[in-house]
Chains A and B, each alone.
Chain A
Amino acid sequence: MVLSLSKDNIQVLREQDVVLLRNRVKEVAVKIKMGLVNQTKLITAASELLRNMLRYGNGGTCLVEVVSRGRDNGVRLTFVDQGPGIPDIQQAMRDGFSTGRSLGLGLPGAKRLVNEFDIKSKVGEGTTVMILKWANG
C-alpha cells in the first residue's frame, strides 16, 4: 500500500518551468534523504518526461508527491497533459523510436531510471505518465 504524504501540483508551460520543477523535485528528494545517484536518475527521468509534455502535449501539469510504503519513502511524479495522445504506446516505449527527430530515448530511458513507471494515453484526450523512485531503490 503506497501512501501519499504530501502533494504539490506544478504547471509546466514554458521551457524555463523545467528548471523550476527540477529544483522542486530535488528539494523533495533531499528531504526524504534520497542518495545523489538516485536523485540524479529521478530528475533526469523527470526532465525527459517534461520535454515530451512540452513538445508533444503543449505543456501540462506535474504532481509532485512524497509517498511511503512501510518503511520506504519515495517520490512520485505524475505528468498530465491534454495533448494529442500516443496512438501506439508499445512503439513509443521502444528505444530509438521518435516522431520528433530526436534520439528516441526519452520514454524508454526514463523507465530504466526509475522503480515504477506507468503510462496511459488516449488519442485526442492526452497522456498521463507516472514515475516513482524509492529513496533506496
Chain B
Amino acid sequence: MDKIPILRMGNFLLVTIQVDLYDRLALNLEADLVQMVNKTSAKGVLIDISAVSIVDSFMGRIIGNIASMSKILDAETVVVGMQPAVAITLIELGLPLKGVHTALDVEKGMALLKGMIGPDFEDTEEETQEDGPIAE
C-alpha cells in the first residue's frame, strides 16, 4: 500500500504529495496527518501539491477536511504549489476550496504559516538569538 510521508520541521508538518492520488490514499493521508498533528502538537501543516496534476471533488474535499480538522486541533493548514490548470479546473468544477489557506510556493507558505501562528512562537526564537550577543 502506498503511503505519503509526513515530515516534521520544528512546529510544522510538511507533506509533499509526489504521486497520483486515489481515494484510499487521500483518506489515509487525512487520518495520518490529523494523528500526527495531535502527536507532535504541530502548529502548522504545509501541503505541497505542486506535483499533483489532478484534484477532483473528492480530493478537494479531503484537503478541506484536513484544514478544518487541523484547525480544531489548533494547527493552521497552508496548501502550496497548485498548478494553474488545477486551479482553473477546481473552480469550474464548483469547488472553491473555501477556508483553505494557499500560497504560491513552499517558501511563501512557510512565511504565511509563521505569520499565522502568531508572535508568541516567533518572539521566543528571536529573543534567544538577540540575547546571545548581549550576554557576551
Do A and B bind?
A: yes
Residues of A that sit less than 8 Å from B by CB? 15-16, 18-19, 22-23, 26, 36-37, 39-41, 43-44, 47-48, 51, 95, 102-103, 105-106, 108-109, 112-113
Residues of B that sit less than 8 Å from A by CB? 20, 22-24, 53-58, 61, 83-86, 88-89, 92-95
**Contacting residues, chain B, for A18 (C-beta < 8 A):** 22-23
Q: Is the CB of A109 within 8 A of B23?
A: no
**Contacting residues, chain A, for B61 (C-beta < 8 A):** 102-103
**Contacting residues, chain B, for A51 (C-beta < 8 A):** 23, 56, 58
Q: How far is the CA of A51 from the CA of B92 in the complex (A)?
A: 18
> Apart from A40-B54, A47-B54, A109-B92, what 6 extra A-B contacts exist at CB < 8 Å?
A15-B24, A22-B20, A40-B85, A47-B56, A51-B56, A103-B61
What are 25 contact pairs spanning A and B, CB under 8 A? A15-B24, A18-B23, A19-B20, A37-B85, A37-B88, A37-B89, A40-B54, A40-B85, A41-B85, A41-B88, A41-B89, A41-B92, A43-B53, A47-B56, A48-B57, A51-B56, A102-B61, A103-B61, A105-B57, A105-B93, A105-B94, A109-B92, A109-B93, A112-B93, A113-B93
**Contacting residues, chain A, for B54 (C-beta < 8 A):** 22, 40, 43-44, 47
**Contacting residues, chain B, for A19 (C-beta < 8 A):** 20, 22
Q: Is the CB of B85 within 8 A of A103?
A: no
**Contacting residues, chain B, for A47 (C-beta < 8 A):** 54, 56
Q: Is the CB of A108 within 8 A of B88?
A: no
- Give the dominant DSSP class at A's interface: helix
Among residues of A, the one whose C-beta sits closest to the C-beta of B55 is A44
Q: Is the CB of A112 within 8 A of B94?
A: yes
Q: How far is the CA of A23 from the CA of B89 in the complex (A)?
A: 18
Q: How far is the CA of A15 from the CA of B58 in the complex (A)?
A: 13
| Most A Cβ at <10 Å: residue of B20, B22, B53, B86 | B22
Closest CB of chain A to B28's CB: distance in Å?
12
**Contacting residues, chain A, for B95 (C-beta < 8 A):** 103, 105, 109
Closest CB of chain A to B49's CB: distance in Å?
13
Q: Is the CB of A16 within 8 A of B22?
A: yes
Given A40-B86, A106-B57, the answer on whether A112 and B92 have CB atoms closer than 8 Å is yes
Q: Is the CB of A44 within 8 A of B94?
A: no
| Most A Cβ at <10 Å: residue of B55, B93, B94 | B93
Q: How far is the CA of A26 from the CA of B20 in the complex (A)?
A: 13
Closest CB of chain A to B53's CB: distance in Å?
7
Given A16-B22, A43-B54, the answer on whether A108 and B94 have CB atoms closer than 8 Å is yes
